[in-house]
Structure 1
């Protein structure tokens, strides 16, 4: 083998997805690459020219500039560039320039497309479009690891029977794993064992659990399927199945778990909410939302489906609270409309959400009527907080008198924000453009929404300020080390997938909706509508939607992992928790968002 080809092959073995190729195929691909030495300052390609291959950096660094000359990425060893053009129409859509002397490997376009067509690992890596199809809620095809939603509860063999009973009572479980000091499973004890082998036989409660446990129980690994659990439970007539990883106890699956998982759906939760008579009954239902999130993410549902179903639950809670408030306070003196803004307004709630809401009142409302709506707002807001939708830190709630006003006052608000777009007006307008009716007289909002969109879109100064406001949240791109992580505090070395991830795209979607007078509120719906209306180009719209999909789904997968580990969902992800593959694509998605921000900031809709 030629020395250059051998050197390239050795290098490719350290680069994903080439490391997935068989050795003979890898050798053939290595021979297809050409090597090029590039002096610092050299433009490797310029936007609009045909791309003839995929570039892979062997050494040095390359900067990627958008159409406005704004730096969006600085790439180093093992990074690729040019694939977006090759996956599209063969044209460069950015500028690539060496920032220092670089050695580039170039794979011809024909060979690149052959690898894409022949090897799924290449297609997955270079094509950011949406992947797996949603799965139905079928336990038989889901992995056992998806069922393990809490840390394993275990005891040592010398633990007394009485102590075991207390552990099970306090943890609310019906079985325990009995393990050695190193976590190796040696037995299982259940509430039935305590009843049959201890109480019924009048054994000493101080006896060690090893005397009543089932030793050497049958187990399954986390990689087993739900069908394996069902078959084993039926064959052995058991209701508790320990899960082990190389003999180490990692969790327990019970018949109750299977029943709960099979029955859990947004429809079931909404049914239970609709039938609740007290706030604490609804709170018990909403505490099941993290498990629903886990199930939806595990089922490969698109993020907009998952967040829509979770938001539907918040809507149902709100409407039930409104009905309960009216039952307690009596009929409202005039028609009213409860609206949500923020993530609930956009139907984008995840496993962690606060409340953002307001009240619009019929213009016939009198000063004497306001006490009713003050009490109604307090009832609903307190109920939402009790159900896990915590009070808004910025007091953007109907309990704030500023956000409980007649329609005429709301019209004044919007006119004032449009004609005097100071920083507070920009912030408030951004929030209020996401309003969505939840309960009450929806007609109170229809005209004001149409009027506001028309007036706002015609005011170029206001639009410019809204564009500027939309650029305040930027993707966490570090020029040197991949990601710009949080530098200090509780979330040091993490990235905020909400404020630095989905919010920049939500802000762009809001601007596009304003420019096109589009009534959609959901971010993905706004991007689709803006693309269809020509506010952004087909290529720009497609790229931004794919980037948004990746960021939003990464956020949900992170939250699901937190739930599966027994924690609470949050938005803070350590890039080190991702694989090289995942980091590469997440960074690519952030680059797309940054590029689109640059385009809108320069008065251009999107990349052409």
Structure 2
């Protein structure tokens, strides 16, 4: 091509994985791109002339069949031909043109050059291996909480030698407009001096300002390494009750910056973490509800990037945990200490720490023993106060009455164990639907050793093979919304005809798989991501399968969170028109992986009887 149409570069810029390259690389790629209008009539000539090559679909619909007879139904934003480029032994593919369209053709040489970029190569190896190429875990570092400190430092450190006078140090602080200085010896941290030191140790005591600064500095201060994140910095500053934290390079321990309380506030005020801190400070139900109702607005304003969504559910769940503990404190302050040991237990999304804007509350009270009438009355009022308080905070009441305010969910330890034994004896679909939510549980307040005891006693009960087989069969009753021709099956919702309930038809299916394998392995952790991580590590699942399902879960939740925040919605109906072509491709790949995992689980746990 002698000229490069702007639409080619524009399309490449928007098409992963080409979007990782700089402008010069994209320009070089575009110059070596063949733009072809692919039809049923010219397809054989095109393939004979250009293959092996990489094809990117700009428009049209095509069915690609490999040498094993496996079909891929592709459309805008999808690729084909890459398997032949990655594996020279791969046989010729067959192309059926369902709807003619424009495709971009990249030669094997261009593909080889671009594959020098690891991200580009991994995208296509993942597609070849039928796993979802998802940088969700790595991209989570983009969230405010996990952003590396070296990306957040506003300026180079202002440092002085220990022999400098106190007066000279004060002048440096004034000239630079900073509230602290790093004191060094041979470019290594030995102390810090702050404006508070000048007030308390110099001005207030009338100390000679010509003395060296090391007479007032804080020696051997706490520090943090530059490759750690803001969350670690906040935790350390809170633990040490300090307002200035030097940041040192991880390799040579040389100073690279300073994190101050002002930095923390500046970072937090623009995100929901600030709200978490505000929740902790509340001293009344009125204050708690006022802060809690601001959380959705903070999420909508600050969760913008894909990585933001990966832990948004965890942050929201932490907020609900704090609300719960605050409400319990308020009740005890008014009504006195509980008459026995108790544990406030949460289920479902709060237990897994993947709450969304539409999540309701699912909770219970675990008691040390059966209460007498007076004790029962206390805990009834206790549960009623907390559940209604959560409702006032925006965590809506459970339609299914899975709440501690329900007398059936205020159980002694012995009664809770008997309940688990009843579960394994009653495995009808209706019964499984009723108790499934209790299989994801977590202690939030009270005596956590009581909850740990329950977990230990229930573990062997819930590893019953017949029980697990019933769970596997039941989880297979709901299938992914993908037709036999790999077309997305959508529903109408709120005036849009191309919606998929991403919770019911996708996220819940992955949660079911994680829960099933975790019960078999005797894991008591409730989080889906944590379950897959450990299952792969201990060999309870194939590590590749566990990692793929983990990344699928993250990808699906990104779509769900983006939908809710972008549309100010609490439902889970994601419109396919809101997805990019690559996301549609990834969604199809995710659905196929989930379907395979479901079939595998039925074979593993129930001998293939579904």
Confirm or deny a common fold (TM above 0.5).
Answer: yes
Corresponding residue for residue 489 of structure 2: 484
Q: Is the 8 A contact 1:362 1:406 kept in 2?
A: yes
Alpha-carbon offset, residue 90 of structure 1? 9.4
The within-5 A match list for 1:544-559 is 544-559=549-564
Corresponding residue for residue 579 of structure 1: 580
Q: With structure 1 as the length reference, what TM-score do the two structures score? A: 0.64
User: Aligned match of 2:385 in 376, 379, 383?
Assistant: 379
Would the alpha carbon gap of residues 285 and 13 (structure 1) be closer, same or farther in structure 2, given more than 3 Å must change?
closer
Corresponding residue for residue 449 of structure 1: 455
Would the alpha carbon gap of residues 136 and 448 (structure 1) be closer, same or farther in structure 2, given more than 3 Å must change?
closer
Corresponding residue for residue 255 of structure 2: none
Corresponding residue for residue 430 of structure 1: 436
Residues 494-545 of structure 1 show CA distances to partners (whole Å, capped at 9, x for unaligned) of 2222222322211111111112111221111111111112122122122222
Give ranges in structure 1 of 5+ residues lacking alignment.
2-8, 40-51, 143-258
CA distance in structure 2 between the partners assigned to 1:72 and 1:594 by the alignment = 16
Aligned residues: 460
Corresponding residue for residue 508 of structure 1: 513
Q: Is the 8 A contact 2:343 2:446 kept in 1?
A: yes
Alpha-carbon offset, residue 128 of structure 1? 2.9
Alpha-carbon offset, residue 360 of structure 1? 0.9
Q: With structure 2 as the length reference, what TM-score do the two structures score? A: 0.63
Corresponding residue for residue 114 of structure 1: 113
User: Aligned match of 1:475 in 461, 476, 480?
Assistant: 480
Residues 328-384 of structure 1 show CA distances to partners (whole Å, capped at 9, x for unaligned) of 222212111110101101011123321000111112522442111111111000000
Report the 3-state secondary structure (helix = DSSP H, G, I; strand = E; otherwise coil) of the residue aligned with 1:396: coil
CA distance in structure 2 between the partners assigned to 1:26 and 1:264 by the alignment = 40
Corresponding residue for residue 281 of structure 1: 287
Q: Is the 8 A contact 2:115 2:121 kept in 1?
A: yes
Would the alpha carbon gap of residues 468 and 84 (structure 1) be closer, same or farther in structure 2, given more than 3 Å must change?
farther
The within-5 A match list for 1:342-381 is 342-381=348-387
CA distance in structure 1 between the partners assigned to 2:427 and 2:571 by the alignment = 33
Corresponding residue for residue 593 of structure 1: 594
Alpha-carbon offset, residue 601 of structure 1? 2.7
Corresponding residue for residue 80 of structure 1: 79
Name the Cα RMSD after superposition.
4.7
Corresponding residue for residue 189 of structure 1: none
The within-5 A match list for 1:116-155 is 116-117=115-116, 127-130=133-136, 132=139, 133-134=141-142, 136=144
Report the 3-state secondary structure (helix = DSSP H, G, I; strand = E; otherwise coil) of the residue aligned with 2:458: helix
Report the 3-state secondary structure (helix = DSSP H, G, I; strand = E; otherwise coil) of the residue aligned with 2:344: strand
CA distance in structure 2 between the partners assigned to 1:325 and 1:450 by the alignment = 30
Residues 215-265 of structure 1 show CA distances to partners (whole Å, capped at 9, x for unaligned) of xxxxxxxxxxxxxxxxxxxxxxxxxxxxxxxxxxxxxxxxxxxx9875245
Corresponding residue for residue 394 of structure 1: 400
Corresponding residue for residue 536 of structure 1: 541
Residues 16-42 of structure 1 show CA distances to partners (whole Å, capped at 9, x for unaligned) of 568998677456454999999999xxx
Residues 85-134 of structure 1 show CA distances to partners (whole Å, capped at 9, x for unaligned) of 988x9999xxx998999999997877545334369888778643336441
Corresponding residue for residue 496 of structure 1: 501
Corresponding residue for residue 528 of structure 2: 523
User: Aligned match of 1:419 in 416, 425, 450?
Assistant: 425
CA distance in structure 2 between the partners assigned to 1:593 and 1:91 by the alignment = 29
1:334 aligns with 2:340: yes
Q: Is the 8 A contact 1:266 1:313 kept in 2?
A: no
Q: Is the 8 A contact 1:336 1:441 kept in 2?
A: yes
